[in-house]
Amino acid sequence: MSNLKLTPGRAITICALAALSAFMGSVHAAKDSPSTSLSGQTATSLLSPQSQSSLVVDVAGVTSNHEYGDPGNVVLDFQVGAFATITSIDWSVNLTAFSPSWLSEMQLSFGDTAGGQSITLTPGVDPEDEAPGTWSYTGSASLIDLDLAFQVGADGILRLQFHEAFDDASVGPDGVWNSGTVTFGVSAVPEPGSYGMMALGLVAVGAWVRRRRPG
């Protein structure tokens, strides 16, 4: 089952997308992919600028509490660099939904701090996920291929919010992300000094070509 929709001003929802990103390595293999253990606490991770890199988020212990925007939700900020582009998402997670809440109601939204629009990932979308219980989910999506890649703001922060599609008031929390990681592909904007270095490189190449040209 595949499900993709845009809700203006709030969320684009990615559900059960086919695996589109084969380039993303494991947590331990990614040289520039710091892993941050959240355990329900706000954390910040700084990526290497001037490159295509990955932000690997360990979601173990994060609770799923209320509907989007509720102050009781777990919100995490990550420093990825001013105007960096989020290019992909890859997830391998294990979730538990406590009765009467459903696995299909557990969601993760991510975007910039302006909050005008965010992308929402729902790992469980099959009919059997419309029930409480524990299950593992894996998947990936190229936001570039889906025309959903976006830039964070000048503050360089990628904001994550864990929430419910429906808040079951009779249970709290509604669910928990037991283990696993969510990986974001990040294309950072080169620092001003890098442009100068690239220009010098082009000048050097041009001079070398002129020296090699027959007189």
Identify the residue with better confidence: 90 or 29: 90
Question: At 6, is the pLDDT very low, low, confident or very high (cuts 50, 70, 90)?
Answer: very low
Distance CA 68, CA 119 (A): 12
Report the percent of the chain where pLDDT is more than 90: 60
Q: How many domains does the chain have?
A: 1
Of 19-28, 112-121, 128-137, the range with the lowest mean pLDDT is 19-28
Question: At 48, is the pLDDT very low, low, confident or very high (cuts 50, 70, 90)?
Answer: very low
The CATH code of the domain that includes 113 is 2.60.120
Q: Is the pLDDT reported for residue 192 higher than 70?
A: no
* pLDDT the model gives residue 75: 97
Total H helices, total E strands in the chain:
1, 13
**Range of the structural domain that residue 75 is part of:** 3-212
For range 173-181, the mean pLDDT: 98
SS3 143: coil
Question: At 117, is the pLDDT very low, low, confident or very high (cuts 50, 70, 90)?
Answer: confident
Identify the residue with better confidence: 190 or 138: 138
Distance CA 81, CA 188 (A): 6
Q: Tokens at residue 114, please?
A: 């302006």
Instruction: List CB contacts of 152: < 8 A, sequence separation 6 or more.
Output: 80, 81, 82, 83, 84, 86, 112, 113, 158
* pLDDT the model gives residue 200: 52
For range 61-65, the mean pLDDT: 98
Helix (H) or strand (E) holding 212: helix 192-212
Q: Is the pLDDT reported for residue 4 higher than 70?
A: no
Q: Is the pLDDT reported for residue 16 higher than 60?
A: no
Distance CA 152, CA 108 (A): 17
Q: Is the pLDDT reported for residue 129 higher than 50?
A: yes
